[in-house]
């Protein structure tokens, strides 16, 4: 018999709709029931691609005895953290305060007023590794609620008050040129923690950290320091060759369980692939390395093929498990490869396939030999080796497609779609891919029509024709960023106008009068406190992206309301950026943009494409571009009063709307960009 989750749209919640647990979705009904029945609340937070979330469901939430215990003593609430990042953030802070660590599934016990008094993450069905069994925990909490309720309520009150106080903010002095020292000190911290042997930062488990790579690449472009580019390329090479990258289908898995990028946790997340496609694209623009372009195209092609809703939205994730086993869909034995391709020996040599395997008796494909080495051993020409491997990969991919696929979380999240819109729009213009541009435009049309309320406000999530939940700061900021990139790919002022509209709503509904931005709007559901998550994690924080978007709009429009808000937010993050650069890398990139005194490029007149190709041939991170043809009307202030000289395409390079002499040739534009924007003219 289905529980209350059966009427939800989240695939994660629907996975639990047949549990014998009497689950409630998050909302007032659950807390009213807790007060009426005089029971504490058990809050379980997870997401559809979370392996240990599935384990806890199978062990405990599908078990009749455990469910009966939960139903007797608790009001149980199930939350999809991807739909409700506010609820997740608030109670994750509580769990971290109580246990000094966090993760998913997150398990928290609350008073009927929503105040947390005990929490943790995964609890097993049988006591082990120092953890009580979940049923033991339930019994202990139920007994404590009856015998020592006052102590639990007092504990919840104190913790809630401390968490609310920690969100406080204060004004900071304005940014100055001296704040460039923050970039230097942060870069020193990044250098110290860099893994010079394997690439990346940190040990096992090792996560791809595109925001850090982006920051380091920006500093290389600003300083010309070749060692910074080495950090970028060694990391990108290691990930591209590792098992964390799907060598057949394209796209990146969530993270590696080791420090050498070999064995992944096999789930694939939209936000990882969006950010990684973008940073590989930027690295290709800087280095021209063919591998990076291939990774970009394979990753975006994977998203277009497997993660796209017919109307234009992008799905959220693909699971790690299939047929009840993690990674089963992705791994190979030598015999399976030999059945599929005549180039089995070449494939096994190229991708490290052995009889013993590297993952539970099977093989995760990872690139261990170069085409040149393989050519020398096989006697084939390099181009023949590469052609044979391309054909074999296509054969293996087709064969893999007949396997039972991991499940797909097909909800469309606005913020994650903003990240992928940015990647497709940037790739469309840098790689001259009209198909990518069509995908980007389709996504923007979809989100702006389907994921909005009647008053034009963004909604968080869409699935099956239904959009719901108030948009968060990250939804507005990340989608506005995507629209600005789409504008620079098309120069259709409608996309620029939509970005401005979202930015104006950020200022109207999310701004903290002291500095920075709250994660929830001023008319959002009242929670324990109004969250303000500033740390950049697997995704950039909403605040860091809002600062970048507002700074760019300040450059486009000259409107100091935008630039002042961006600078105030950045100024309030001084100590965090200096002290913990790995956790605030997107903020650092925004600071780099602001302190660089970003340049504005306006191109007007007919046949501007040759000039645009000059701009798009390289990565200029601190440049915003606007263009119009002929006497076409434009609502972009940067284009105001810019005229073509003698009817020819004309470029104006400006800073703070003070411009260099206009140029009308591609050679002069290239020279001007190198002279004004490059660290090595």
pLDDT digits (tens, 9 = 90+) for 103-152: 999 999 999 999 999 999 999 999 887 889 999 999 999 999 999 999 99
| Shared domain check, 534 and 472 | yes
| Shared domain check, 455 and 360 | no
Q: Based on the structure, what is the number of domains in the chain?
A: 4
Q: What is the domain-level CATH number for residue 27?
A: 3.40.30.10
| Shared domain check, 104 and 33 | yes
How much is the pTM?
A: 0.95
* Separation of alpha carbons 474 and 83, rounded Å: 12
Domain assignment present for 556:
yes
| Shared domain check, 340 and 235 | no
Which of 384, 402, 420 terminates a domain? The answer is 402
Give the tokens for residue 254.
């969530």
Q: Between vectors from CA 124 to CA 118 and to CA 126, what angle results, nearest 5°? A: 115
Domain assignment present for 266:
yes
Q: What are the angstrom distances between the C-alpha of 484 and each of 236, 278, 503, 550?
A: 26, 15, 11, 11
Q: What's the confidence (pLDDT) of residue 678?
A: 76
* Separation of alpha carbons 170 and 124, rounded Å: 43
| Shared domain check, 336 and 196 | no
CB 116, CB 99: distance < 8 Å? no
Q: Which residues pair with 110 in a beta bridge?
A: 41, 116
Domain that holds residue 374: 330-402
Domain assignment present for 174:
no
CB 102, CB 121: distance < 8 Å? yes
Q: Which residues pair with 651 in a beta bridge?
A: 603, 663
| Shared domain check, 309 and 338 | no
* DSSP letter, residue 256: E
Domain assignment present for 509:
yes
* Separation of alpha carbons 336 and 351, rounded Å: 14
Which of 551, 577, 595 terminates a domain? The answer is 595
Q: What's the confidence (pLDDT) of residue 294?
A: 98
Give the tokens for residue 455.
């008053």
Q: What's the confidence (pLDDT) of residue 657?
A: 79
Q: What's the confidence (pLDDT) of residue 633?
A: 62
Q: What residues have CB less than 8 Å from 348, skipping those under 6 apart?
A: 334, 337, 354
| Shared domain check, 557 and 506 | yes
How far from the centroid of its chain's Cα atoms is residue 291's Cα? Answer: 22
| Shared domain check, 589 and 606 | no
CB 209, CB 200: distance < 8 Å? yes
| Shared domain check, 588 and 480 | yes
Q: Which residues of the chain fall short of a pLDDT of 50?
A: 680-681
| Shared domain check, 609 and 529 | no
Domain assignment present for 173:
no
* Among 317, 306, 295, CA closest to 250: 295
Which of 343, 370, 402 terminates a domain? The answer is 402
Torsions phi, psi for 510 (to 5 deg): -120, -10
**CA atoms lying within 13 Å on the CB side of residue 497:** 6
Q: What's the confidence (pLDDT) of residue 680?
A: 46
* Separation of alpha carbons 142 and 546, rounded Å: 44
Domain assignment present for 673:
yes
Give the tokens for residue 258.
């080791």
Q: What's the confidence (pLDDT) of residue 631?
A: 60
Q: Count of CB atoms within 10 A of residue 171's CB?
A: 12
CB 492, CB 483: distance < 8 Å? no
Q: What is the domain-level CATH number for residue 633?
A: 3.40.30
Residue 304: Cβ-neighbour burial (10 angstroms; 0-12, 13-18, 19+): middle
Domain assignment present for 284:
yes
Per-residue model confidence as pLDDT tens digits over 447-487: 999 999 999 999 999 999 999 999 999 999 999 999 999 99
| Edge-to-edge order in the sheet of strand 658-659 | 623-628, 599-604, 650-655, 658-659
| Shared domain check, 336 and 260 | no
Q: What's the confidence (pLDDT) of residue 681?
A: 35
Q: What residues have CB less than 8 Å from 338, skipping those under 6 apart?
A: 344
Domain assignment present for 503:
yes
Q: What is the domain-level CATH number for residue 444?
A: 1.50.10.10
- Kindly report the three-state secondary structure assignment for every residue of 228-254: HHHHHHHHHHHHHHCCCECCCCCCECC
Q: What's the confidence (pLDDT) of residue 679?
A: 61
Q: What's the confidence (pLDDT) of residue 630?
A: 65
| Shared domain check, 250 and 303 | yes
């Amino acid at each position: 018999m289905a529980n209350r989750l059966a009427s939800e749209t989240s695939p994660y919640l629907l996975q639990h709709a047949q549990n014998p647990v009497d689950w409630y979705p998050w909302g007032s009904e659950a807390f009213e029931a807790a007060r009426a029945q005089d029971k504490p609340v058990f809050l379980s937070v997870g997401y559809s691609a979370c392996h240990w979330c599935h384990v806890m469901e199978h062990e405990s939430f599908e078990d009749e005895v455990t469910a009966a215990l939960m139903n007797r003593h608790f009001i149980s609430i199930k939350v999809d953290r991807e739909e409700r990042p506010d609820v997740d953030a608030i109670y994750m802070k509580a769990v971290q305060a109580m246990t000094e660590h966090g993760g998913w599934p997150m398990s928290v016990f609350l008073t009927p007023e929503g105040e947390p008094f005990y929490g943790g993450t995964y609890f097993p069905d049988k006591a082990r590794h120092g953890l009580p069994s979940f049923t033991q925990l339930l019994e202990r909490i139920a007994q404590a609620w009856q015998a020592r309720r006052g102590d639990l309520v007092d504990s919840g009150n104190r913790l809630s008050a401390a968490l609310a106080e920690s969100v406080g903010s204060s004004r900071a002095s304005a940014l100055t040129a001296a704040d460039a020292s923050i970039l230097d000190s942060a870069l020193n911290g990044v250098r110290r923690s860099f893994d010079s042997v394997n690439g990346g930062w940190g040990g096992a488990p090792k996560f791809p950290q595109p925001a850090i790579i982006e920051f380091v690449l920006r500093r290389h472009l600003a300083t010309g320091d070749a060692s910074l580019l080495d950090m970028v390329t060694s990391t990108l090479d290691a990930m591209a060759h590792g098992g964390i990258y799907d060598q057949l289908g394209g796209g990146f898995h969530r993270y590696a369980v080791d420090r050498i990028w070999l064995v992944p946790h096999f789930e694939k997340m939209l936000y990882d692939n969006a950010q990684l496609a973008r940073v590989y694209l930027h690295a290709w623009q800087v280095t021209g390395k063919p591998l990076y372009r291939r990774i970009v195209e394979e990753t975006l092609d994977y998203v277009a093929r497997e993660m796209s809703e017919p109307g234009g939205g992008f799905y959220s994730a693909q699971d790690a498990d299939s047929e009840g086993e993690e990674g089963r869909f992705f791994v190979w034995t030598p015999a399976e490869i030999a059945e599929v391709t005549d180039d089995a020996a070449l494939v096994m040599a190229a991708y490290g396939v052995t009889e013993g395997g590297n993952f539970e008796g099977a093989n995760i494909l990872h690139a261990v030999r170069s085409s040149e080495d393989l050519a020398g051993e096989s006697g084939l020409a390099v181009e023949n080796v590469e052609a044979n491997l391309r054909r074999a990969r296509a054969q293996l991919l087709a064969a893999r497609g007949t396997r039972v696929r991991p499940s797909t979380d097909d909800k469309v999240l606005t913020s994650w779609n903003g990240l992928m819109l940015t990647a497709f729009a940037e790739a469309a213009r840098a790689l001259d891919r009209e198909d990518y541009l069509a995908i980007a435009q389709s996504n923007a049309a979809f989100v702006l029509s389907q994921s909005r309320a009647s008053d034009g406000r963004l909604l968080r999530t869409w699935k099956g024709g239904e959009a719901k939940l108030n948009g968060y700061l990250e939804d507005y900021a990340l989608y506005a960023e995507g629209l600005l990139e789409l504008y620079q790919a098309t120069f259709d002022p409608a996309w620029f106008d939509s970005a401005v509209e979202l930015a104006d709503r950020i200022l109207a509904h999310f701004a903290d009068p002291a500095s920075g931005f709250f994660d929830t709007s001023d008319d959002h559901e009242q929670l324990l406190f109004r969250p303000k998550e500033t740390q950049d994690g697997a995704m950039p924080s909403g605040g860091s992206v809002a600062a970048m978007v507002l700074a760019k709009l300040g450059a486009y429009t000259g409107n100091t309301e935008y630039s002042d808000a961006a600078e105030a937010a950045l100024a309030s993050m001084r100590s965090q950026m200096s002290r913990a650069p790995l956790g605030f890398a997107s903020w650092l990139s925004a600071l780099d943009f602001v302190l660089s005194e970003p340049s504005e490029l306006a191109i007007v007149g007919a046949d501007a494409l040759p000039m645009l190709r000059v701009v798009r041939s390289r990565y200029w991170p601190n440049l915003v571009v606007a263009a119009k043809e002929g006497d076409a009307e434009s609502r972009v202030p940067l284009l105001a009063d810019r005229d073509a000289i003698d009817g020819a395409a004309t470029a104006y390079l400006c800073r703070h709307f003070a411009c260099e002499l206009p140029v009308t040739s591609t050679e002069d534009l290239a020279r001007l960009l190198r002279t004004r924007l490059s660290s090595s003219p």
